[in-house]
Amino acid sequence: MEHLILRVTTKILFAPILLFALYVQFHGDYGPGGGFQAGVIFSVAFILHALCFGLDATKRALPQNFLVVGMVVGFMLYAGTGVATMILGGNLLGYDALAPASTHHAGQHLGILLVEFGVGMAVASTMLTIFYHFAGREPEIDPKHW
Amino acid sequence: MSGLISQLPVLPVITPLIAAPLTLLLPKGRVPWAWATIVSWLTFAASAALLHNVATNGVVSYHLGDWAPPLGIEYRIDLANALVLFLVSGIAAIVFPFAYESVRSETDNRQSSLFYGAMQICLAGMLGVTITGDAFNVFVFLEISSLSTYALVAMGARRDRRALTAAFNYLVMGTIGATFFVIGIGLLYQATGTLNMADLHLRLAGQDNRVIEAGFAFIVVGIGLKAAMFPMHLWLPNAYTYAPSVVTAFIAATATKVAVYVLVRFFYSIFSPDFAFMQATFAYVLLPLGVIGMFVASLVAVFQADVKRMLAYSSVAQIGYMLLGVSLGTKAGLAAALVHVFNHALIKGALFMSVACVVLRLGSHANEAFQGLGRRMPVTTGAFILSGLSLVGAPATVGFISKWYLLKATFEVGHWGVSFLIVASSLISLIYIGRIIEMMVLREPPESGPLSAPIKEAPMSMLIPMWVLVAANVYFGLQTDLTGGIASAAADALMTVGGAR
């Protein structure tokens, strides 16, 4: 088997990278981090997989259609939080409306957590979509495809 | 119900913004189009309600995330942006239903959900630029609308691959414009420490130094690029020519208008007329460039062999009229510019829609395709002639009202030479529109070649929206209370904005 060391290393690293992405995601409330960074780190795991096992194997594991859904669901988490606060009587993205009884702004905490998670999902899916399209590009576009 | 009213200011932006990603999940074909059409109507309803609300109750302020300005982002809607919101969403509500047949024939059908998604994002971006009261938020929304426009222009590549270079050119120029704009905002932020427009206005009052002058210059150049102000218009003709016809109709009627609105907003709501550098810019930069643009672009339009390209150059000339109105620095001039923003959107929307009908049936927008069109597609020809006359400024059309307001404004400040130039350049537009009308009405259809095949009139789904817009050209030409009245009141509001807070 070719590139055995690289492949074994990738397999070992894959799960910790995803875990680290989630750490950056949810620790973003308290320290540096947040949805954008986490999303990129999350997609890096799959990009590494594609580099070592080939794009086709990665696309079998995580098809393009899933990514479209991921982008939309991520964005809808963000926008949905905004709409939820509007329905609950606040302004758009006025998180305090999520927990009006709280004395220590629990709504702000919950709101930003949801929004950032949406950002993370959308960024990870978008990064991978960009990667799939660049990596999967045919060298010369067939004129028939226009 | 009161909840809905209090959330009204944000609805025109978030309705298309939320609907756009959902479009991606819809099946290909007719469904994304139907969805986008419904969304555009809802958005228009919200904008119309907002305009009514602002006209009766005065300025509306909405605090995003319940953070009070100047720290939080504020949506601040006065008559000026309510009018532009009404215009942009109105054009969308007419162009989106019009789109189906044209888009099906001109773009890749596998991309239909992406196409309508991008159209909605573009709409949301332009409405966001218009509605916001935060200078940095303008930049964000400007990029949202511009990025989707680049993609939409590139989708014309199925018919003509030159759309790709046109889109790339537009991308480069548009990004330079956006960069200049954000540098300008950065300089103002450095000088004042705030991004809220009303707050910027208060803190800039009385300040006059190099940082602010540089910031002002960067903003004028950046937005000037987006608005295709005369020497910076080079991206526009190709982008309009090779984009899918529906996209051209939509962005020609809205995108440059929104950029002109941003310029006006910065001139009057952020800087103030007593800022000497701005007065100098008006007199020595905007006024001459506006006049030169009117003439050069009109003359170039006369010699085009392609109707879409001709209309694109004509758009550059019309931007010249708007900048001319703004550069007079008077209330009447500003009102004239706003009236022309509104009216020119109706004119160019209708003209490009009739071109879209021709492209659908004949597959070409070269001059030859229009030969003898009066006999082959009489209804489309009628729409083109009426809106073409409106562009020239025939009485009882909106074009006449625009020119009338503009002439009145120049008389008022005693620029007789400029008034003469306005009339003279209108005569040039008579030449290029007249040339096409002559071809359509008086010449025989081509007898051989690909354009000679027998054709039907465009389908009803396109004729009805197109004629709605043509009817608007005549209606607002006779009934000037809405445009003229609101534009004057909006100019008033813009010029006195500092005291409102």
pLDDT at position A93 over 70 = yes
Task: Count the helices and strands in chain B (H runs, E runs).
Answer: 22, 2
Q: Which of B105-109, B180-184, B359-363, B416-420 has the highest mean pLDDT?
A: B180-184
| A135 Cβ under 8 Å from any chain B Cβ | no
Q: Which residue ranges make up each domain of chain B? A: 2-500
Q: Which residue has the tokens 């030169």?
A: B292
Task: Give the pLDDT mean for B38-47.
Answer: 96
If you average pLDDT over every residue of chain B, what do you get? Answer: 92
What is the C-alpha separation between B413 and B324, in angstroms, rounded?
13
Mutate to test the interface with A, among B1, B5, B7, B75 (most CBs of A within 10 A): B7
| A64 Cβ under 8 Å from any chain B Cβ | no
Share of chain A above pLDDT 70, in %: 93
pLDDT band at A119; cut points 50, 70, 90: very high
Buried b (16+ CB within 10 A) or exposed e, A59-76: beebeeeebbebbbbbbb
> Quick check: A95 and B65 CB within 8 A?
yes
* Residue B111 pLDDT: 86
pLDDT band at B208; cut points 50, 70, 90: confident
pLDDT at position B299 over 70 = yes
Mutate to test the interface with B, among A81, A91, A146 (most CBs of B within 10 A): A91
Q: What angle do CA B329, B335, B338 make, to 5 degrees?
A: 110
Strand partners, B77: B60
pLDDT band at A46; cut points 50, 70, 90: very high
Nearest alpha-carbon partner for A10 in A64, A58, A62, A81: A58
pLDDT tens per residue, range B432-468: 999 999 999 998 888 888 888 888 889 999 999 999 9
Instruction: Determine whether B203 is exposed, middle or buried from the number of CB atoms within 10 Å of its CB (0-12, 13-18, 19+).
Output: middle
Contacts of B157 in chain A (CB under 8 A): 146
pLDDT at position B136 over 70 = yes
First CA to last CA across chain A, in angstroms?
A: 40
pLDDT at position A145 over 80 = no
* Residue B390 pLDDT: 95
Reported as half-sphere exposure (CB side, CA atoms, 13 A), residue B262 has a value of 34
Task: Give the pLDDT mean for B262-271.
Answer: 92
pLDDT at position B15 over 90 = yes
A144 phi, psi to nearest 5 deg: -60, -25
Task: Give the pLDDT mean for B363-387.
Answer: 92
The first and second tokens of residue B436, run together, are 């096409």
The minimum CA-CA distance between B121 and chain A, rounded to whole Å, is 13
* Residue B501 pLDDT: 36
Share of chain B above pLDDT 90, in %: 76
Q: So what's the ipTM on this one?
A: 0.89
What is the C-alpha separation between B183 and B225, in angstroms, rounded?
14
* Residue B12 pLDDT: 94
Nearest alpha-carbon partner for B366 in B313, B325, B310: B310
| A94 Cβ under 8 Å from any chain B Cβ | yes
| A55 Cβ under 8 Å from any chain B Cβ | no
Task: Give the pLDDT mean for B368-391.
Answer: 93
* Residue B284 pLDDT: 92
pLDDT tens per residue, range A18-33: 999 999 999 988 888 8
Residue A144: CB atoms within 10 A of its CB come to 5
Do the beta carbons of residue B23 and residue B32 sit within 8 Å? yes
* Residue B499 pLDDT: 41
pLDDT band at B388; cut points 50, 70, 90: very high
pLDDT at position B186 over 90 = yes
Residue A116: CB atoms within 10 A of its CB come to 23
> Quick check: A146 and B21 CB within 8 A?
no
Q: Which residue ranges make up each domain of chain A? A: 4-136
Contacts of A83 in chain B (CB under 8 A): 14, 18
pLDDT band at A101; cut points 50, 70, 90: confident
| A123 Cβ under 8 Å from any chain B Cβ | no
pLDDT at position B118 over 60 = yes
Contact partners, residue A65, CB within 8 Å, separation at least 6: none
What is the C-alpha separation between B19 and B249, in angstroms, rounded?
22
> Quick check: A91 and B18 CB within 8 A?
no
| B63 Cβ under 8 Å from any chain A Cβ | yes
What is the C-alpha separation between B331 and B490, in angstroms, rounded?
10
Task: Give the pLDDT mean for B46-75.
Answer: 91
B11, closest residue in chain A (CA to CA) = A92
> Quick check: B18 and A94 CB within 8 A?
no
pLDDT at position A8 over 90 = yes
> Quick check: B24 and A93 CB within 8 A?
no
Higher pLDDT, B446 or B348: B348
* Residue A30 pLDDT: 82
Share of chain A above pLDDT 90, in %: 60
| Encoded amino acid at A93, one letter | L
Say which of B3, B7, B14 has its CB closest to residue A79.
Answer: B14
pTM of structure: 0.94
Q: Is B102 helix (H, G, I), strand (E, B) or coil?
A: helix
